[in-house]
């Protein structure tokens, strides 16, 4: 059990860099596209899709960790990452990225696509940063311990 927990923890900790890279890149691309009145391309659709998938994977890894933590009696401990300070922003980041992705696919017009994508991604980038800041900063290594 502790080996599985450790592997999940390292996967969750390492995957955050992929999420950060995609969130920052996608946010920059859609904001520039929105402000620059650019045409919506397949690259924009793919970036939104990949970012949404990466955030979803990060959320699922975190959900598995959270479940293992609770099952092993971890709620009696005070760990910043497993309080609402980490979980709630993570859930809201998934929702924000999903909103931007879904709305940018459904609306007509390039400017409106970029606008909804930018709104969703700007919300997501702040929420991802907030979730990461609760566990020791954006670039800090994981500070969690094995609940056993």
pLDDT tens readout for residues 108-134? 999 999 999 999 999 999 988 888 887
Q: Lowest-confidence range among 53-62, 63-72, 77-86? A: 77-86
Which carries the bigger pLDDT value, residue 68 or residue 124? 124
Task: Tell me if 57 sits within 8 A of 15, measured CB to CB.
Answer: yes
- Whether residue 8 is predicted with pLDDT greater than 80 in this model: the reply is yes
Contacts of 148 (CB under 8 A, 6+ apart): 1, 2, 5, 72
pLDDT of residue 63: 87
Token match 């859930």: residue?
Answer: 91
Q: Which tokens is 121 given?
A: 């991604």
pLDDT above 70 covers a percentage of the chain that reads: 82
Alpha helices in 72-108 (DSSP H): 84-106
pLDDT of residue 134: 78
- Whether residue 39 is predicted with pLDDT greater than 50 in this model: the reply is yes
Which carries the bigger pLDDT value, residue 15 or residue 85? 15
Mean per-residue pLDDT over the chain, rounded: 83
Q: Which tokens is 28 given?
A: 């920059």
Whole-prediction pTM: 0.81
Task: Tell me if 60 sits within 8 A of 10, measured CB to CB.
Answer: no
Helices 2-35, 110-133: axis angle to 10 degrees equals 140
């Amino acid at each position: 059990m502790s080996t599985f927990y450790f592997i999940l923890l390292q996967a969750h900790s390492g995957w955050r860099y992929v999420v950060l890279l995609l969130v920052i890149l996608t946010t920059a691309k859609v904001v520039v596209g929105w402000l620059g009145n650019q045409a919506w391309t397949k690259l924009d659709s793919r970036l939104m899709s990949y970012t949404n998938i990466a955030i979803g994977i990060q959320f699922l890894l975190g959900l598995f960790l959270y479940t293992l933590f609770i099952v092993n009696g971890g709620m009696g401990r005070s760990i910043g990452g497993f309080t609402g300070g980490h979980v709630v922003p993570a859930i809201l980041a998934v929702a924000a990225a999903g909103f931007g992705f879904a709305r940018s696919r459904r609306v007509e017009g390039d400017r409106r696509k970029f606008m909804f994508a930018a709104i969703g991604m700007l919300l997501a980038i702040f929420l991802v940063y907030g979730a990461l800041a609760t566990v020791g900063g954006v670039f800090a290594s994981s500070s969690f311990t094995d609940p056993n």
